[in-house]
């Protein structure tokens, strides 16, 4: 399915009979299930198994090029959501597939394109781009506020006041609901936000300042530890 969306557009919670490769050639998406959230920039895709409810918010203008696969065709794929890296070859194959008719000749050129896509999917590695989301309504509201203002530097105690809880209670709830401490969760949220902004071409210095870092070097060190690449390396389109 090829479709374009404006920044801020929201696709309400839904599910599909087929598994879905959620991918965009341009722009960044936030994809949320009941338990987790993923930031999906252009060099990445999200594997969404069939029947899992999810919503999508466009963090920028998005050129979505998504695929739907039958269970028998995608039996080798994970049964849970996974963030995946997209190679330049797979990118072009996905774009070509979205230009094909829904009913295509499986023994002709179109069938060869699809077969190559399935072959490429077999070799993709999962990426640690998941952000666990709490089920507790008050904690969920706080997490959404953190996502909307990733550069907010307020400490745990100040955020606890926003939901009329003690810092100790908030810390305990964060750990039990997400498996992460407050600080670790906020850092992961910032890493994912940075990935989306960098993939859209934002300057490294601007991203660092927007996310609350006092220096580019401090931001770069954090980003490299979390992602295995420097911000400038991530910002460049993949070349192999």
Domain CATH code at residue 107: 2.60.120.280
Residue 104 lies in a domain: yes
Helices (H), 58-103: 88-97
Helices (H), the chain: 88-97, 109-122, 137-148, 156-162, 167-178, 182-199, 204-210, 216-227, 231-235
Q: How many domains does the chain have?
A: 2
The CATH number of residue 202's host domain is 1.10.10.60
Instruction: Give the total residue count for the chain.
Output: 240
Query: 233 is written with which tokens?
Result: 């390396």
Residue 240 lies in a domain: no
Out of 106, 127, 148, pick the residue that ends a domain: 127
Q: What is the rounded average pLDDT of the residues 143-147?
A: 87
Q: Is the pTM higher than 0.85?
A: no
Residue 46 lies in a domain: yes
* pLDDT score of 238: 44
Same domain, 111 and 139: no
Out of 127, 153, 169, pick the residue that ends a domain: 127
* pLDDT score of 4: 94
* pLDDT score of 76: 92
Same domain, 79 and 37: yes
Per-residue pLDDT tens over the stretch 21-68: 999 988 888 899 988 888 888 778 999 999 999 999 998 889 999 999
Residue 208 lies in a domain: yes
Same domain, 122 and 140: no
Contacts 24+ apart (CB under 8 A), 194-197: 194/219, 194/223, 194/231, 195/28, 195/39, 195/41, 195/44, 195/129, 195/227, 195/234, 196/28, 196/39, 196/41, 196/59, 196/60, 197/28
Residue 35 lies in a domain: yes
Same domain, 15 and 71: yes
Query: 10 Å Cβ neighbour count for 85?
Result: 14
CA 117 centroid distance within chain:
21
Same domain, 69 and 16: yes
Residue 198's domain spans which residues?
Answer: 134-235
* pLDDT score of 240: 35
- Of 77-86, 93-102, 196-205, the range with the lowest mean pLDDT is 196-205
Same domain, 116 and 143: no
Q: How confident is the model at residue 236 (pLDDT cuts 50, 70, 90)?
A: low
Same domain, 88 and 191: no
Q: What is the rounded average pLDDT of the residues 185-207?
A: 87
Out of 127, 158, 184, pick the residue that ends a domain: 127
């Amino acid at each position: 399915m090829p479709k374009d969306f404006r920044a801020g557009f929201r696709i309400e919670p839904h599910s599909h009979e087929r598994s879905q490769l959620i991918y965009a050639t341009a722009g960044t998406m936030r994809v949320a299930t009941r338990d987790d959230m993923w930031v999906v920039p252009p060099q990445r895709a999200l594997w969404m198994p069939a029947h899992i409810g999810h919503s999508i918010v466009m963090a920028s203008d998005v050129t979505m090029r998504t695929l739907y696969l039958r269970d028998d065709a995608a039996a080798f794929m994970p049964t849970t959501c996974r963030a995946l890296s997209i190679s330049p070859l797979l990118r072009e194959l996905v774009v070509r597939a979205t230009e094909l008719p829904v009913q295509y000749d499986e023994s002709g050129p179109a069938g060869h394109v699809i077969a190559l896509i399935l072959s490429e999917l077999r070799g993709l590695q999962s990426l640690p781009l998941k952000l666990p989301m709490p089920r507790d309504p008050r904690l969920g509201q706080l997490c959404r506020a953190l996502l909307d203002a990733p550069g907010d530097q307020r400490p745990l105690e100040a955020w606890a006041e926003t939901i009329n809880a003690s810092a100790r209670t908030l810390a305990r709830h964060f750990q039990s609901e997400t498996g992460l401490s407050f600080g670790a969760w906020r850092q992961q949220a910032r890493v994912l936000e940075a990935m989306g902004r960098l993939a859209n071409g934002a300057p490294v210095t601007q991203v660092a300042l927007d996310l609350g870092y006092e220096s580019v070097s401090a931001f770069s060190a954090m980003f490299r530890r979390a992602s295995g690449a420097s911000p400038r390396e991530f910002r460049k389109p993949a070349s192999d």
